[in-house]
Structure 1
Amino acid sequence: MLFKVKFSVLIFFFGFALILCNPNDRNNLVSHSKKKVVYNKVKLEKYDIPFDSLLEKINIKINGSWDPPVRMDGNKDFMVLYNAPDKYYDDFLRVMKNKNYQESKKMICVFAAQKLNFEKYLDFANYCLAMFEKDNLSEDILFFVLFPNGWNTRLRFAEKYDDPRVHELFKKVLNKKDISDRSKISLNHIYTGATWTSGPK
């Protein structure tokens, strides 16, 4: 009984002190979890660096390698692009259009674009074909746009080979005289459905 009385008195005085303290002090009485959320927001903002700076950091990390899925997996700077492809979509297009960007940087953009939804990725692929036709993009880059081997979306077009839009895209590529036989063999397997019907699902 004595314990209950003491506890009630403590509650009363704490409530009274809270009423008397000024509003600014009251605002400082936030929970630990609330402070953590605010801290996390500040922390995230610090990593919101410009696209080209991120691209340069990733490019240094892979050292111009042509096996980016192996070297970029888990890289925090690459994952910023990979996890927000819609945010950086216009930047991807800008890189593909500009001849001054290194091939390795264009390759980074190709693999960073892999989480785009199918419709948007199809637009991306058609844009890359247009850039190839203008000699702004190499055949190697275009090939990996259409068939990003070694990445978990490599069968994206293979699965939808009978979609008229995919069919038209691959038909345009296969009819290009400046596409090598090496690329045509692999891309023709997608175009005909052979990759999807005979390969692992």
Structure 2
Amino acid sequence: MRISVWTLGAVAAAGLTLCGIPAAAQTYYADGPNAGGSAVLSIQVRAAVGGRCGFAAAQTPNGTFDQPNFDETGFSHDFTFQLECTGPSRVAVVSTNGGLKTGGTAPAGYATLAPYDVMLNLVGSSATASATCAVANLTATAGAPCEFRGPATTTAGLRLNSNSILQNGSFLRVSAPVYSGADALVSGTYGDTLTVTVSVAP
């Protein structure tokens, strides 16, 4: 069994907004009644830079986890990461297979797809957020999507209502007990890929 996790779109940033810091400029007249004099022209200018959000460069949720005979032993593994977000953020996950999958066709009484769970835990400077979903609900076409199915947008994904700059404690956990499905799993190499994205959440 192999589960691979990788990051897509690591940095999102809002644009520049213009809204007001006072500045003054002088205008000189070459001729006319005010020749040789001057007048003050006030121009109101204000600029603000929007929030920035991404995964910390050295702490992205990337990696691969292998577990032989997972059907007999079960498994649990954490992919740790750090956020680098100046305000609230959302993190989301998409599963390629919706379970641990092997190739081929399963005869009657056998299966080629094994379920597992995905837990997302986010840590900020003043808040945390956590949720767990069955991986079947994390595919792009899931009928009953998980609350943190991706890709992340300003309205989709698990929301962390806090800034988070290089905070420790955020992780994505994959886990399953010993397999107990009604159909036996066929012999083979099983795997899945999870894609993790992050977005600002104004």
TM-score, normalised via structure 2 length = 0.23
TM-score, normalised via structure 1 length = 0.23
Higher RCO (CA 8 Å, separation ≥ 6 residues): 2
Greater share of helix: 1
